[in-house]
């Protein structure tokens, strides 16, 4: 298959799992971290023949070119946002540097999309310079992850850095969110191995107040059902829309070049 002509597309994301992105894209799948609440492992074990083993799917690199936003959805919040590797941790230590760089290069060549990256290994993010159309985050679900997040995230070379506290499992000790641009808070949804878990209201309001002190945006996930005085769902301003024909051509040319040199 010629990489510039594959028919892979983004997945239309309709569930509440990643409400802040209307698409997901999985050029890599599988993860070696063992989070009990992992919805991705649940899905992979049910539907993928390779289960949750680490896999690279280069045939999916054409998805940014092939995916078009339906006209009637053009004004939807988050419609330009693509969650990269919803079925993996792209920045796990086992993922080859070239694979990550190849994906970042494809993202840079398709600026009609915003790409969202999320990892539990924030130290690895420092190895890369992220393109202008990327938002990069780390998950902090418990206090054991706070130190690494605060140490590494402010130094990540990305236009938007975010913290995802989902599922929020503890009363987090985070003194300041300076260095971040966005905070996402969510609960633990029911999975095969874990029941639903809702954090205490005070854990959530404390985080929101830390975010307000730092002047950053806050997004409360629908799966968080504790009573709150308000439930902010703040995004960044929508990106300017690039003419699709011109952009698709640019990205296809990039992918064809990639095939000639590296694939």
User: Is residue 60 involved in binding ligand SF4 (CB under 6 A)?
Assistant: no
> Which region among 2-10, 37-45, 72-80, 178-186 touches ligand SF4 (by CB under 6 A)?
37-45
Nearer residue to ligand SF4 within complex by CB, 80 or 124: 124
Which range, of 6-14, 27-35, 203-211, 214-222, touches ligand SF4 by CB under 6 A?
27-35
The number of residues in the chain equals 263
Closest among 24, 39, 92, 12 to 223, alpha carbons compared: 39
Site string for ligand SF4, 116-145 (x = CB under 6 A): ----x-------------------------
Contact (CB, 8 A) for 110 and 251: yes
Window contacting ligand SF4 (CB under 6 A); options: 33-41, 69-77, 95-103, 107-115: 33-41
Nearest to 106 by CA among 55, 161, 66, 64: 64
Contact flag: residue 197 with ligand SF4 (CB under 6 A)? no
Residue 194 CB, shortest distance to ligand SF4, in Å, is: 11
E strand segments, 196-254:
217-220
DSSP helix/strand/coil, 144: helix
CB of 210 to ligand SF4, least distance (A): 24
40 binds ligand SF4 (CB under 6 A): yes
User: Can you tell me the distance from the alpha carbon of 32 to that of 98, in angstroms, rounded to the nearest whole number?
Assistant: 19
Q: Is 154:161 a contact under the CB 8 Å cutoff?
A: yes
**What span, in angstroms and rounded, lies between the C-alpha atoms of 9 and 210?**
38
SS (HEC) of 20-67: CCCEEECCEEECCCCCCCCHHHHHHHHHCCCCCCCEECHHHHHHHHHC
Stretch that binds ligand SF4, among 31-39, 154-162, 165-173, 174-182 (CB under 6 A): 31-39
Q: Does 89 bind ligand SF4 (CB under 6 A)?
A: yes
State which of residues 12, 33, 132, 234 lies at the interface with ligand SF4 (CB under 6 A).
33
Task: Give the interface with ligand SF4 as residue ranges (CB under 6 A).
Answer: 31, 33, 35, 38, 40-41, 88-89, 120
């Amino acid at each position: 298959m010629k990489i510039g002509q594959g028919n892979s597309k983004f997945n239309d994301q309709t569930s509440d799992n990643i409400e802040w992105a209307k698409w997901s894209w999985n050029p890599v799948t599988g993860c070696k971290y063992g989070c009990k609440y992992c919805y991705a492992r649940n899905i992979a074990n049910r539907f993928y023949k390779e289960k949750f083993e680490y896999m690279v799917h280069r045939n999916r690199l054409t998805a940014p070119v092939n995916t078009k936003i339906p006209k009637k959805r053009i004004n939807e919040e988050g419609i330009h946002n693509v969650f990269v590797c919803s079925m993996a941790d792209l920045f796990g230590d086992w993922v080859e540097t070239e694979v990550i760089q190849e994906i970042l290069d494809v993202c840079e060549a398709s600026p009609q999309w915003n790409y969202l990256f999320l990892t539990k290994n924030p130290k690895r993010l420092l190895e890369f310079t992220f393109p202008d159309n990327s938002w990069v985050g780390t998950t902090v679900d418990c206090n054991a992850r706070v130190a690494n997040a605060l140490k590494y995230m402010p130094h990540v070379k990305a236009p938007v850095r975010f913290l995802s506290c989902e599922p929020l499992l503890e009363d987090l000790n985070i003194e300041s969110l300076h260095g971040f641009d966005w905070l996402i808070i969510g609960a633990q949804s029911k999975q095969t191995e874990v029941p639903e878990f809702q954090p205490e209201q005070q854990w959530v309001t404390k985080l929101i107040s830390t975010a307000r002190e730092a002047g950053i945006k806050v997004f409360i996930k629908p799966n968080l059902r504790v009573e709150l005085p308000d439930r902010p769902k703040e995004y960044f301003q929508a990106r300017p829309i690039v003419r699709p024909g011109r952009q698709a051509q640019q990205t296809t040319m990039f992918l064809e070049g990639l095939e000639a040199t590296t694939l």
